[in-house]
Chains A and B, each alone.
Chain A
Amino acid sequence: MSKTLHKRSDFIKRSMLSALVFLKDATLSEEYANRKGFLQSLDPRIKTISLLAFLVTMISLKSAVLIGTLYGFCLILAFSSSIPIRHFLGRTLFFIPFFSLCIVLPTLFSTVTPGDPVCSFNVLGINGTLTRPGIDGALLFVVRIATSVSLVVLLSLTTRHSELLKVLRIFGIPYIFVLTVSMCYRYLYIFATMVENIFTAVKSRVGVVSHHRHGQNVVAWNIANTWNRTTQMSEEVYMAMLSRGYTGEPRLLSQFYATPKDWVWLLSSLIICAGLFYSGHIL
């Protein structure tokens, strides 16, 4: 068997398995949400409202310094919520802002954003001039993106996914929608595991190396098989729901309790937001 064939068959397998691992890690890991920390101790509804307030305030700000200050505050929140700073920086400061910078790169130059020149250069006969408004605009954009991502990451890392879904209720999302999404989330893991097992079973029967066309067949079988099992399981789950009294109008347990600590935090957050808004107005 040639190396090329091996690589091509491996490509399908590796792509599928990597996708499954990513799915499990990204959506099902609740490592930080289960830790003891400041944000974890807050009522998820209050936490969502306060972080949303920060997000809205941040969008209204036009000063990179103030937004940077808010980012610093996010770092303090991450630290007090037992999130390793290196992990937090990795998720908020490197990749997404880097890609944002790539997007705004043309706006740095005088051809897109005219203004006071900061420096000029000549590369392969092409002249370029960086302008002050261009740099300021790009900086504001990147800092804004990094801070927005930080606020969302803080919320998603410190809240269990099931609680996050239930928070949707405060925005008037119907119970049935919350229940359906919760169930989708619950069964993602089962189907991801099932697909993984099918791959292991195929590997145990046909060996590691197979022709890439066979690999494509395996993927097609997988899709068909998963579809069949999904349909079957959805019918059985519906039966299990009926068996426990479901008649089409779901009722869910409300588990959230706001304590004085939550209200103090919400008030403090609103005061900080007002302070930032005022500072942004006078700067």
Chain B
Amino acid sequence: MSNIIFELKDVHYSYMGKFPALCGIDMTIRSGEKIAVIGANGTGKSTLLQLLDGLIFPDQGNMTAFGERLLEHSHDDEKAAHRFRKRVGLVFQNADIQLFCPSVREDIAFGPLQLGVAEKEVKRRILEIAQVLDIQHLLDRVPHQLSIGEKRRVAIASVLAIDPDVYLFDEPTAGLDPLTVRHIIDFIVTANQRGKTIITATHDLHIIGEIADTVYVFGRNKRIVSGGSSESVLNDNPLLELNNLIHIHRHQHDGQEHVHKHLPLEEH
């Protein structure tokens, strides 16, 4: 189909050739989809996002992006690299890695400037994005002085400034307060409504219903153990329990012990 963005066939990847991170991934991602990749720690979610962002390349198997095979030398040509980078943006899990410039303004400007956007247009985008993400007051601050939530919003802004077709989010809500989580969910939903493709790696099951229509579950064997609609996956308790995504919770009500399954951080 013409609207396929990424296609992965039997993709394997290992770190330093001896620590497997992905073992035979098959996946097809179409334009405008809202996808979540869930799994316990160390199941290869972040590695998958780095593959999709063309930062690392498969050891085995085929991977195509926008109809072209993605190979290590694909980005040797600056124009081809820029074409790809304009279409795919990754928000890293650790905002301190993403925010490497001495000020927030320069961090937001970095992406579009490298991609050849005119400086006048970059400055216009900075102001517009700052307003959308409510970070106008942070523009001249240095990133290390910001809170985790502020850093995460600036990290999103740094990718939003490129205006890619595909957004990759690595644990976008980890360690954030509820209001900031809400803002990020709203941003993801709005971006998808504007036609952007969203791929999110997370183990926060509370946000899945809103940020994804399709969910892939990664297992400890570094493979996709299940995939389907978010509703069907979230209702499959044995699957979630087997993959460390829910736990058995034991507590007391009026002196009587009570045992039930529990999503992480779920209220009861």
Using a CB–CB cutoff of 8 Å, the interface residues on chain A facing chain B are 28, 30, 160-162, 165, 182-183, 185-187, 189-190, 233, 236-237, 239-247, 250-255
Using a CB–CB cutoff of 8 Å, the interface residues on chain B facing chain A are 50, 53, 55, 78, 81-82, 85-86, 89-90, 92, 94, 96-103, 105-106, 109-111, 113-115, 119, 122-123, 142-144, 158-159, 162
Taking CB as reference atom, which chain B residue is nearest A248? B78
Check if B102 sits within 8 Å of A255, measured CB to CB. Answer: no
A-B contact pairs, 11 of them (CB 8 A): A183-B102, A186-B99, A186-B100, A233-B97, A239-B50, A240-B92, A240-B100, A241-B100, A243-B85, A244-B162, A254-B119
5 closest A-B pairs (Cβ-Cβ)? A162-B102, A245-B114, A244-B111, A245-B115, A245-B85
Check if A189 sits within 8 Å of B100, measured CB to CB. Answer: no
Question: Is the contact region of chain A dominated by helix, strand, or loop, or is it mixed?
Answer: helix
Bound CA–CA A104/B80 (angstroms): 64
A251 surroundings in chain B (CB, below 8 A)? 113-114
- The smallest C-beta distance from A234 to any residue of chain B, in angstroms, reads 10
Bound CA–CA A252/B113 (angstroms): 7
Check if B85 sits within 8 Å of A162, measured CB to CB. Answer: no
Check if B81 sits within 8 Å of A182, measured CB to CB. Answer: no
Check if A162 sits within 8 Å of B103, measured CB to CB. Answer: yes
Knowing A244-B110, A253-B105, say if A190 contacts B96 (CB, 8 Å).
yes
B106 surroundings in chain A (CB, below 8 A)? 162, 252-253
B123 surroundings in chain A (CB, below 8 A)? 253
Taking CB as reference atom, which chain B residue is nearest A253? B109
* Apart from A187-B100, A241-B110, A251-B113: 14 A-B pairs, beta carbons within 8 A: A28-B142, A186-B102, A186-B144, A190-B144, A239-B50, A239-B55, A240-B97, A240-B98, A243-B89, A245-B111, A245-B115, A252-B106, A252-B109, A255-B105
A250 surroundings in chain B (CB, below 8 A)? 114
